[in-house]
Structure 1
């Protein structure tokens, strides 16, 4: 299961940081084998595995769903947290959520500092660079903090 978690989280860290996207295809490609593995584990050791991981998926979905309803979080972040709960189980959700929230808070603080008057020259150089222009093309107008990237990175740290 740890391999599946790495296969999911590493690409999501990169795509969410750069393009602000969490592809549903990746969530399905990792979630489906995780379900099969959990079914196999339940067959071998009993239904407790299903409770731990099934409750993790349900809690992961329900905890972040209100943020999506309020429009402060993208649906991909919510689905990712549910898949992390499915793979890691409910005991991992609180530490993952706390770590991701601290990382997102640091990101927001860096953005605020970057908007200060003292950073104007650096900001203008960066905005004119080809790298930044390419990143803006990949984002296609999507803005906001890459919370999914921080959820994925925190899941790797916790597990």
Structure 2
């Protein structure tokens, strides 16, 4: 049951972080409360309350320093903690590795684009021109930029959401 809640949370966070660079507290709180309720009502269908609380605290302890030095948003830390609650402490290392690899690809691509690696490819490949224009000149793009209100950066929470889906559907952390 907790894994199902984590999947729903993961999907919601992928959307909100990619669209607006936000991780809504209401969604995190609702997922945490639903997870705790599921553990109390259906203890056999979840990680167990003790492992869940350990996962919550471990998630907080692991990522809070990154927030305190300004490398990560508070929403990323809170999401990681709630995922620890829902999936247990054993899921945190795979979540962290997968999300960090995805964020690393994002950062590498951004740096390459900023340093002019892609303009020749885009200029010489017409489908890339159409895709670039669609992404950057569409109404959806304008709405996304407006909803972000200047917030920029790597959408780490979205990558945590994607990692959650991968872990739950492949059973990476649970054998």
Q: TM-score range by the shorter chain?
A: 0.7 to 0.9
Aligned to 2:31: 30
Aligned to 2:104: 105
- Report the RMSD for the aligned CA atoms in angstroms: 2.3
Deviation at 1:130, TM superposition (A): 3.7
Deviation at 1:11, TM superposition (A): 1.3
Contact 2:36 2:49 in 1 (8 A): no
Aligned to 1:3: 4
Aligned to 1:12: 13
Aligned to 1:137: 146
Contact 1:41 1:49 in 2 (8 A): no
Aligned to 2:73: 74
For the residues of structure 1 that align with 2:73 and 2:40, how far apart are their CA atoms? 30
For the residues of structure 2 that align with 1:100 and 1:106, how far apart are their CA atoms? 10
Aligned to 2:172: none
| Runs of 4+ residues over 6 Å off in structure 1 | none
Q: Which runs of 5+ in 2 are unaligned?
A: 124-128, 169-175
Aligned counterpart in structure 1 of residue 162 of structure 2, from 135, 153, 156: 153
Deviation at 1:155, TM superposition (A): 1.3
For the residues of structure 2 that align with 1:74 and 1:86, how far apart are their CA atoms? 19
SS of the aligned residue for 2:71 comes to: coil
Within-5 A mapping of 1:112-131: 112-120=111-119, 125=133, 127-131=136-140
Q: Which runs of 5+ in 1 are unaligned?
A: none
Aligned to 2:84: 85
For the residues of structure 2 that align with 1:132 and 1:35, how far apart are their CA atoms? 37
The answer to whether the aligner puts 1:59 opposite 2:58 as a matched pair is: yes
For the residues of structure 2 that align with 1:152 and 1:130, how far apart are their CA atoms? 25
Contact 2:7 2:164 in 1 (8 A): no
